[in-house]
Amino acid sequence: MTALAPDPARRRADIAARTLRPDRWWVEPAVTAGVLLAFIAYSTWAAFQNANYYVAPYLSPFYSPCLAVSCVEGSSHTRIVGQWFSLSPALLVLVFPLGFRLTCYYYRKAYYRSLWLSPPACAVAEPHRSYTGETRFPLIFQNVHRYFLYPALVFNVILTVDAVLAFRNAELEWGHAGLGTLVITVNAVLLWLYSLSCHSCRHIIGGRLNHFSKHPLRYRAWTELSKLNQRHMELAWASLVFVGLTDLYVRLVASGIITDPTFF
């Protein structure tokens, strides 16, 4: 029997219906779009507030490191950006974590499906007539993801320092902790786990090696990162939601709406 040669002019199956799936395939992209849009709306609002981002000893992760001369007293690690910058200091730093998330392999899948419907789900036709993937402008810039990883790791170090500094009381005496300390510490841990589970990070550690046997340490690290990598999606969501909640917590305490319970 002769195999039928594929017709190069026919790119899609000849099915009139958009999908034959009987299940509620639209729930996952709808929830994903809802959470992503809610985060974008909240983080944009919070970044432009330029207020209530610091209450001793807590600094919102959206404003850390606070680099502008205009940063409120006590919030700044180093004020290297002069008076010429009159906008919110959050705008100086958010471009790096946002760039890291925007180009993340997992988030790409999430927002291609949920926001661009390309495709919205498996076995559901997309509304677009052509597909060029990430081979052309502007999506070819998604390939810079690995370069966003390096500043993301630097930010994690800074947020870890913030977590250590949070073990002080409002008078900045060491050896104290409140609910804010716990919130800021969990936020830093989740951001580390998200970054270390990154596909690019896994490749940097274990990629381009011909023999793992000659690199036992890298093999060990790659094995551990591979376990984390399997949880990348969960860590992406947990760290995204928690970083927003951390800013909200600091904001509520700084504005006097709630008080920070003290543990010790």
Residues within the interface to ligand FES (CB under 6 A): 104-106, 145, 198-200, 232
Q: List, in order, residues 6 or more apart from 113 with CB less than 8 Å away.
A: 29, 32, 119, 120, 121
Our CB check for ligand FES shows the closer of 106 and 222 to be 106
Our CB check for ligand FES shows the closer of 113 and 232 to be 232
- Return the SS3 of 110: helix
What is the nearest approach in angstroms of ligand FES to the Cβ of residue 233? 9
What is the nearest approach in angstroms of ligand FES to the Cβ of residue 232? 6
Angle 232-254/27-49 helices, nearest 10 degrees?
40
What is the nearest approach in angstroms of ligand FES to the Cβ of residue 197? 7
Q: Is the dihedral of CA 211, 215, 216, 220 positive or negative?
A: negative
The full DSSP string for 218-238 is HHHHHHHHHHHHTTHHHHHHH
What is the nearest approach in angstroms of ligand FES to the Cβ of residue 242? 15
Our CB check for ligand FES shows the closer of 47 and 104 to be 104
The full DSSP string for 21-70 is --S-TTHHHHHHHHHHHHHHHHHHHHHHH-SS-EETTEE-GGG-S--BTT
Our CB check for ligand FES shows the closer of 25 and 105 to be 105
Instruction: Report strand pairing: 58-59 vs 54-55.
Output: antiparallel
Tell me whether the omega of the peptide bond preceding residue 65 falls within 30 degrees of 0, making it cis: yes
What is the nearest approach in angstroms of ligand FES to the Cβ of residue 137? 21
Q: In degrees, to the nearest 5, what angle opens at C-alpha 217 toward C-alphas 212 and 220?
A: 75
What is the nearest approach in angstroms of ligand FES to the Cβ of residue 195? 7
Our CB check for ligand FES shows the closer of 179 and 238 to be 238
Helix or strand holding residue 189 (H, E)? helix 179-196
Our CB check for ligand FES shows the closer of 172 and 233 to be 233
Our CB check for ligand FES shows the closer of 32 and 200 to be 200
What is the nearest approach in angstroms of ligand FES to the Cβ of residue 166? 25
**Residue keyed to tokens 């299940």:** 23
